[in-house]
Amino acid sequence: MAFELTPFNDSTLTDDVLTYLVDRQAPAMRAKQQKLADYFHNPMTPSTTASGANGKSYIQAQEMGLPPRITGVGTDASGATLTDVDRKEVVIENDIAWRLDTMVDYLFGQPVTFHSQASDATTARGIEQIVSSVLDANGGMAFLQELALLGAVHGFVDVALRLPAEKPVGWFSRLSHPTGDPVVATSNAAAGRSGLFGAGIADAGPQLELIDPARVLTIGAEDDVQQTRYWVQVFDKHRPGVASKRRVPWGRAGSSESLQRVEVIEILSATHWQRYEDRTLVAQGANPLGAIPIVHIQNLPKHGSYSGLSDVESLIPLQDELNTRLSDRANRVTYQSFKMYLGKGIDDFLDRPVGPGQMWTTHNANASIEEFGHDVGSPSEDAHIAQLRQAMDKTSGVTPVAAGLVGGQIGQLTSATALRIVLSGLLSKTARKRLAYGHGLKQLAAMVLTYLDLAGVFKTDPSDRGIEIAWPSALPGDEGEALRNAQIKSELGVPADRILAELGYELPQTTD
C-alpha cells in the first residue's frame, strides 16, 4: 500500500523515496548497527554443531572476526565452503566492553547539575526544577548512562520527545492541585507549591525516549547536510498471538509457529507526523512544536554525516587480531603443554601407562623412549599480544589504569596532577564528549520548556530557556582540597548555589 504523504505538503517527499529508504537503506543500516552492538555485548548463541575435540556448546558474536582456520567455518579463496577444517580452541577476550563502560563512568558516573540562564531568579528556579523533574521521571542517571552508552556504541543517539497525541496542546491546564487550582503556572510560586508541579510532570508530562540507532533513517536538505527535513523510524513489533502455517524462510512450503510481527514506520517533520503499521496509516497529527521533536547527539563529530564516530568501530580490527592471536596461543598451549612419548622397539608400549615405577623390557638394542612436546616460551607471541593491547589503549584513550587495574610500576600517583597525566587521553576524550552531550541536553531542556510554554503550564520566553551544566570533576578528589577550593571560589564571588552543586550537595528548595 502506498504512503499517504499529502499532509506533509512536500512534492519531494514521494512514495518512491520512502519505499527506497525503508526497503533498501533500512536493512543496511540495521546490519551495520547490529554488528557494532554485537561487538560490544558479545552475546552467546547456543550451538549444537560445534565440531572438533575443543568444540563448545555456544558461539560468541566476536567469532565473526576470526579466520576459518580457527572457527572451522568459512570459505576458501575460490568461494567454496570449507569442509576439511576442524574447529580449534576459540578464545574471546572482550576488550571493547570494559573500555566503553569506563568511558560512560567518567562521563556520567556522577550527577550533573542544571543552571538556568533566565534573568529572573524565580523563573530560573522554576526552570531548574522542571528540567530536573523531567529527567528524574525518565530515569535520571540511568537515562544519562544509557544515553552515553548508545552513543559510544553506535556513534550517535537520538532522543524523542513524546507528546500525548490523544490530547490537545493545552491539556496540562486540566491538571489540578489538591485545592482545585488549575496548574497554569507562570512563576515558580505557582509551579513549585509542595513540589506538585514536578509530580505532575513525572506522572503525565512529556516522555523522553531513547531511540535504537538501528531504527533511524533521515532525509536531509539538498544544500545543507546538517539540516534534517524528515526523521524516519523503522522497526518491527510483536502483535499478541501466534502466526502458524506460514512459508519458511528458505522458500519451502511448511508449517511453523512464531509471534506475529508488524512493521512499524514513523515519519516526523517540523509540521506533521505519521505512523504506519504494515504500510497502513494508523495515526497522524500536527506537530505543535514547529520543529522535529528529536534531539540528535553525535558521540564524536563526523563531518558530513548524520551519525558520528563510534568508539566500537575503530576497535573492531584490533579486537579481531587480539582474539586471533589469543586463539592461536591457546592451540599452541593445548598441543605443547603436555609431555608426549615416542617409543621405539618396545613391545606393548601403548598398553603400558607412562608413570612412576613403570618398566619396559626388550631385546631390541635399538629401542628408545623419546620425550617431546611440553610448552616452551614464545616471546614474540607475548610481545605481539601486548602491543595489540597498547594499540587498543591508544585508539580508545582508555587504559587499564582508568578501570582500576594497575599491572605494572607507573610511579607514585601522589597528586591529582600525576593522575591527570596518566589519564590524559581519557580525560581529553571525556571533555570532548561533555561538549557534545552537554549541547544535546541543553537542546532537550529547551524543547521541553517550549512544549510546556505552548501547553500553558510554565510560560517562558525563548531567551529564558538556556541552561548551563555543571559537570563534576572526572578525577577522584580529596574532600578537604575540594572544600578549600570551594572557599576560594566563594571569596572570588562565585554564587553559593553553584559551589554547592559542584560539591554534590542538593540545593534547598525555596518557597515564595
> 361 or 136: whose pLDDT is higher?
136
Any idea which of 69-83, 90-104, 386-400 has the lowest mean pLDDT?
A: 69-83
Span 276-298, average pLDDT: 90
State the Cα–Cα distance between residues 300 and 244, nearest whole angstrom: 46
State the Cα–Cα distance between residues 62 and 320, nearest whole angstrom: 7
Span 56-65, average pLDDT: 89
- Asked if residue 195 has pLDDT above 50, the reply is no
Instruction: State the pLDDT at residue 378.
Output: 78
State the Cα–Cα distance between residues 418 and 188, nearest whole angstrom: 45
Q: Look at the block and give the residue holding cell 529547551.
A: 446
> 57 or 301: whose pLDDT is higher?
301
- Asked if residue 251 has pLDDT above 50, the reply is no
State the Cα–Cα distance between residues 181 and 177, nearest whole angstrom: 5
- Asked if residue 202 has pLDDT above 90, the reply is no
Q: What residue ranges do the domains of the chain occupy?
A: 99-156+181-209+424-503
Span 373-395, average pLDDT: 84
Instruction: State the pLDDT at residue 144.
Output: 96
The 3-class SS string of 253-313 reads: CCCCEEEEEEEEEEEECCCEEEEEECCEEEEEEECCCCCCCEEEEECCCCCCCCCCCCCCH
> 278 or 401: whose pLDDT is higher?
278
- Asked if residue 197 has pLDDT above 50, the reply is no
- Asked if residue 422 has pLDDT above 80, the reply is no
State the Cα–Cα distance between residues 54 and 52, nearest whole angstrom: 5
- Asked if residue 37 has pLDDT above 90, the reply is yes
pLDDT confidence bin for 210, thresholds 50/70/90: very high
Cα 124–130–136 angle (5° rounding)?
Answer: 135
> 337 or 152: whose pLDDT is higher?
152
Task: Specify the amino acid at residue 143.
Answer: F
State the Cα–Cα distance between residues 241 and 85, nearest whole angstrom: 43
Instruction: State the pLDDT at residue 243.
Output: 56
Span 318-324, average pLDDT: 95
The three cell numbers locating residue 183: 496548574
> 184 or 308: whose pLDDT is higher?
308
Cα 67–72–78 angle (5° rounding)?
Answer: 70
Q: How far is CA 156 from the centre of its chain?
A: 9
DSSP 336-369: HSSEEEEEES-TTTTTS--STT-----S-TT-EE
pLDDT confidence bin for 406, thresholds 50/70/90: low
pLDDT confidence bin for 55, thresholds 50/70/90: low
pLDDT digits (tens, 9 = 90+) for 115-151: 999 999 999 999 999 999 899 989 999 999 999 999 9
- Asked if residue 187 has pLDDT above 70, the reply is no
Task: Assign 210 to helix, strand or coil.
Answer: strand
> 41 or 173: whose pLDDT is higher?
41
Residue 177 φ then ψ, to 5°: -75, 165
- Asked if residue 445 has pLDDT above 90, the reply is yes
- Asked if residue 52 has pLDDT above 90, the reply is no
Any idea which of 160-164, 284-288, 369-373, 399-403 has the lowest mean pLDDT?
A: 369-373
Which of 211-225, 249-263, 410-424 is most confident? 211-225
> 438 or 474: whose pLDDT is higher?
438
State the Cα–Cα distance between residues 113 and 141, nearest whole angstrom: 11
Which of 70-74, 141-145, 220-224, 449-453 is most confident? 141-145
Span 480-504, average pLDDT: 79
pLDDT confidence bin for 305, thresholds 50/70/90: confident
The pairing of strands 156-162 and 207-211 is: antiparallel
State the Cα–Cα distance between residues 73 and 353, nearest whole angstrom: 37
| Residue 8 CA neighbour count, 13 Å, CB half | 19
DSSP state of 357: T
> 319 or 52: whose pLDDT is higher?
319
pLDDT confidence bin for 65, thresholds 50/70/90: very high
SS3 breakdown of the chain: % helix, strand, coil, rounded to 5? 40, 20, 40
pLDDT confidence bin for 114, thresholds 50/70/90: very high
pLDDT confidence bin for 379, thresholds 50/70/90: confident
CA torsion sign, 386 to 392 to 397 to 399?
A: negative
Neighbours of 82 (CB within 10 A): 13
pLDDT confidence bin for 47, thresholds 50/70/90: confident
- Determine whether 266 is exposed, middle or buried from the number of CB atoms within 10 Å of its CB (0-12, 13-18, 19+): middle
Span 266-282, average pLDDT: 92
- Spatial contact of 301 and 439, defined as CB atoms under 8 Å apart: no
- Asked if residue 104 has pLDDT above 90, the reply is yes
State the Cα–Cα distance between residues 288 and 159, nearest whole angstrom: 18
Q: Which has the closest alpha carbon to 164: 463, 443, 457, 461?
A: 457
- Spatial contact of 436 and 300, defined as CB atoms under 8 Å apart: yes
Instruction: State the pLDDT at residue 199.
Output: 40
Q: What average pLDDT does the chain have? A: 80
State the Cα–Cα distance between residues 56 and 365, nearest whole angstrom: 46
- Spatial contact of 175 and 184, defined as CB atoms under 8 Å apart: no
Angstrom CA distances, 194 to 189, 190, 221, stand at: 10, 10, 47
